[in-house]
């Protein structure tokens, strides 16, 4: 079981800057937050109910009587629950109301002592319909459905298989994107090299006397490199603006920066090659 609430003052969830609130059970922590040795306490700092942010405390005091099978009263509303503040370098998998997964790096965890004995059928039905309550083990789940005579009414779907297929598809697209990017880099290097050598041969009569007169290569190549930088900037800027400040935009920006460095380097190599061959009367 996992249910993640984000701060939303309009919906009565004014959590401030204390991060989202997540309702989980021990089984979810065992599955999602373990170090491989059965320990699930890394990054978890225990909190007393009195240490909860005021906004979270008000939300839980108002909501728990509607969720619990045996609603307590007054200050006893949070009795039986354990609270932790999670903070880690990797996000802890949590499921928001739409049943997807998010990975907040900071959150307040509300650990329920159990599921069915604690929460009423209305709340559990809501969790099931939004995929926030998942039964583990395909065989035991099918046996549970059969024991209650619900064959033909309840269909068991193996969400783990769906997740594996999605992971495989994502890995395939990542591999394909990596191959495409590598091919693009190779093509760009080849095209830039050919372009630089063609320009160097065409400009040989211009570059040779300037270099003999003592002009630095930076001065000789500045005009042609500047044109390529301007053209590259005009092409990269709309792409970065369209992507927004996301991982893809960072990749595009890094690629553009590499091209800015590679352009003068290619022209320098080509110009030096041209100068050497003109000096030796080979060109």
pLDDT band at residue 74, thresholds of 50, 70 and 90?
low
Pick the residue with more confidence: 161 or 151? 151
Q: pLDDT at position 241, please?
A: 77
Give mean pLDDT, residues 103-116.
Answer: 90
Convert the pLDDT of each residue in 226-235 to its tens digit. Answer: 888 888 788 7
Q: pLDDT at position 112, please?
A: 93
DSSP string of 182-230, one letter each residue: HHHHHHHHHHHHHHHHHHHHHTHHHHHHHHHTT--HHHHHHHHHHHHHH
> How does the average pLDDT of the chain come out, rounded?
82
- Residue 108, pLDDT > 90, answer yes
Do the bridges between strand 2-5 and strand 21-25 make them parallel or antiparallel, or are there none, so unpaired?
A: antiparallel
Q: pLDDT at position 111, please?
A: 93
- Residue 242, pLDDT > 70, answer yes
Give the tokens for residue 113.
Answer: 């002592």
Answer yes or no: are the C-beta atoms of 228 and 262 closer than 8 Å. no
First to last CA, the chain: 75
At 46, give phi and psi (nearest 5°).
-60, 145
Give exposure, 246-258, as e/b (b: 16+ Cβ within 10 Å).
Answer: eeebeebbebbee
Give mean pLDDT, residues 200-219.
Answer: 88
The C-alpha atoms of residue 199 and residue 205 are separated, in whole angstroms, by 11
Convert the pLDDT of each residue in 153-197 to its tens digit. Answer: 777 766 655 555 666 677 788 888 889 878 888 888 888 889 889
Q: pLDDT at position 84, please?
A: 92
- Residue 279, pLDDT > 80, answer yes
pLDDT band at residue 35, thresholds of 50, 70 and 90?
low
pLDDT band at residue 21, thresholds of 50, 70 and 90?
very high
């Amino acid at each position: 079981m996992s249910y993640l609430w984000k701060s939303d003052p309009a919906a009565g969830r004014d959590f401030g800057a204390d991060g989202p609130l997540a309702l989980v059970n021990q089984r979810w922590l065992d599955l999602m937050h373990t170090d491989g040795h059965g320990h699930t306490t890394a990054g978890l700092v225990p909190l007393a109910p009195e240490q909860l942010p005021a906004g979270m405390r008000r939300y839980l005091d108002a909501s728990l009587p509607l969720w619990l099978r045996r609603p307590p009263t007054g200050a006893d509303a949070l009795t039986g629950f354990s609270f932790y503040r999670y903070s880690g370098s990797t996000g802890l998998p949590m499921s928001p109301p739409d049943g997807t997964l998010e990975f907040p790096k900071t959150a307040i965890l509300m650990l329920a002592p159990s599921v069915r004995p604690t929460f009423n059928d209305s709340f559990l039905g809501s969790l099931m319909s939004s995929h926030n309550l998942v039964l583990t083990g395909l065989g035991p789940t099918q046996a549970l459905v059969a024991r209650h005579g619900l064959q033909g009414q309840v269909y068991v779907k193996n969400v783990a298989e769906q997740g594996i297929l999605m992971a495989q598809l994502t890995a395939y697209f990542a591999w394909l994107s990596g191959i495409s990017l590598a091919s693009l880099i190779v093509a760009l290097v080849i095209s830039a090299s050919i372009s630089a050598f063609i320009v160097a041969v065409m400009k040989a009569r211009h570059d040779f006397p300037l270099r003999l007169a003592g002009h630095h290569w930076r001065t000789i190549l500045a005009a042609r490199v500047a044109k390529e930088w301007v053209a590259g900037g005009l092409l990269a800027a709309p792409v970065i603006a369209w992507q927004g400040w996301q991982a893809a935009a960072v990749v595009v920006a890094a690629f553009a920066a590499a091209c800015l460095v590679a352009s003068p380097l290619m022209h320098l190599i080509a110009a030096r090659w041209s100068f050497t061959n003109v000096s030796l009367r080979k060109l």
